[in-house]
Amino acid sequence: MGYTVAVVGATGAVGAEMLNILAERQFPADKVVALASSRSVGRDVSFGDQTLKVSNLEEFDFSEADIALFSAGGSISAEYGPKAAAAGAVVIDNSSFFRMHEDVPLIVPECNADAVAGYTKRNIIANPNCSTAQLVVALKPLHERAGIKRVVVSTYQSASGAGGSGMDELFNQTKGIFVNDEIEPDTFTKQIAFNVIPHIDVFMDDGSTKEEWKMVAETKKILDPKIKLTATCVRVPTFVGHAEAVNIELEKPLSADEARDLLREAPGLMVVDKREDGGYITPVECVGEYATYVSRVREDPTIDNGLNIWVVSDNLRKGAALNAVQIAEVLINRFLKKAA
């Protein structure tokens, strides 16, 4: 007997990838339920070779589900996550709502799979922010080997990080610019086509944005509270795939060659680093892939034990849907036992 899995936000950019990845990885589900708002009831969504009819989240009885993957925004998670958990479904939540709650584990399986055990406190597990997920996969092996003191990261985040409406806005603005349409920002705060915007999520009191704060707080929770991190998060006009330029100060010396070898062996990572034209990965090349790619590995001679790397991953996959399904896999393989 397999599991019943509910996907909340099944009509969204991440929800669609959750369905794709459940099918691709042959997650042992007897039944997959696609849930969204009342607006989408009866719509078809793809699940592998099949299509599923979307049902209304408000009317779904979560006692029918073993696992509920949520990606419909923080307010939906806040309202329905605890209800689903109380009804007996283990909630794997992609919103930021529960991430920093002490009694909710925040998981990237390559980094802290054992911490999934903490799900029993609330029946909820949090998925990190997209830009954090790919970063910690790359930092983990370096931290284990040489101890990370400080990280300076600049992100180049695609429009899909703002959901389907972000991708639509980039597409429509790009087309519109060629016919002199007036630019009317909506999902983004300024023109996104042919532009970059140094602002993701709301501003905090100290002048950083919430996206930047998330990278700091979530890296500490997942990897090590001792790691100091400072981030500048920037929205760029790509559709899918986040890139990050990462400067790392280590406790111990680690050459670029050693780092490359280490990263090559680490789970979830692919190193493409040829030091020649095109010998690195760009966002369009990582779309639809599971791996987090590392390129441009080099020493930073301006500090002791300094390293620079370039990290690229599909933000809808490792940054969201893939990580959520990997958590579900850890859960069923190690914690939820279904009678055969």
- The catalytic site residues sit at 130, 242
Q: Measured from the CB of residue 145, what is the shortest distance to ligand A2P in angstroms?
A: 37
- Minimum CB distance to ligand A2P smaller for 131 or for 208: 131
- Minimum CB distance to ligand A2P smaller for 129 or for 219: 129
Residue among 111, 85, 100, 110 at smallest CA distance from 8: 85
* Window contacting ligand A2P (CB under 6 A); options: 160-168, 197-205, 206-214, 277-285: 160-168
Task: Give the Cα separation of 82 and 100 in Å (integer).
Answer: 15
Task: Give the Cα separation of 335 and 195 in Å (integer).
Answer: 46
325 forms beta bridges with none
| Among 19, 76, 106, 250, contact with ligand A2P (rule: CB under 6 A) | 76
| Among 3, 6, 15, 93, contact with ligand A2P (rule: CB under 6 A) | 15
Task: Give the Cα separation of 327 and 329 in Å (integer).
Answer: 5
Contacts with ligand A2P in 190-219 (CB under 6 A)? none
Task: Give the Cα separation of 48 and 36 in Å (integer).
Answer: 19
- Minimum CB distance to ligand A2P smaller for 227 or for 316: 316
- Minimum CB distance to ligand A2P smaller for 47 or for 310: 47
Secondary structure of residue 158 in the 3-state scheme: coil
H/E segment holding residue 150: strand 148-157
Q: Does 319 bind ligand A2P (CB under 6 A)?
A: no
Q: Does 40 bind ligand A2P (CB under 6 A)?
A: yes
Q: Does 165 bind ligand A2P (CB under 6 A)?
A: yes
Mark residues 43-62: x for contact with ligand A2P by CB under 6 A, - for none: --------------x-----
Q: Measured from the CB of residue 38, what is the shortest distance to ligand A2P in angstroms?
A: 7
Residue among 150, 177, 299, 120 at smallest CA distance from 231: 150
| Among 36, 65, 84, 250, contact with ligand A2P (rule: CB under 6 A) | 36
For residue 334, the one-letter residue type is R
Sheet strand arrangement including 3-8: 55-56, 29-36, 3-8, 67-70, 90-93, 124-126
Dig out the tokens for 272 from the structure. 């493409």
31 forms beta bridges with 4
Give, as one character, the DSSP assignment of residue 129. Answer: P
Q: Measured from the CB of residue 215, what is the shortest distance to ligand A2P in angstroms?
A: 20
Binding site for ligand A2P (CB under 6 A): 9-15, 36-37, 39-40, 57, 72-73, 76, 163-165
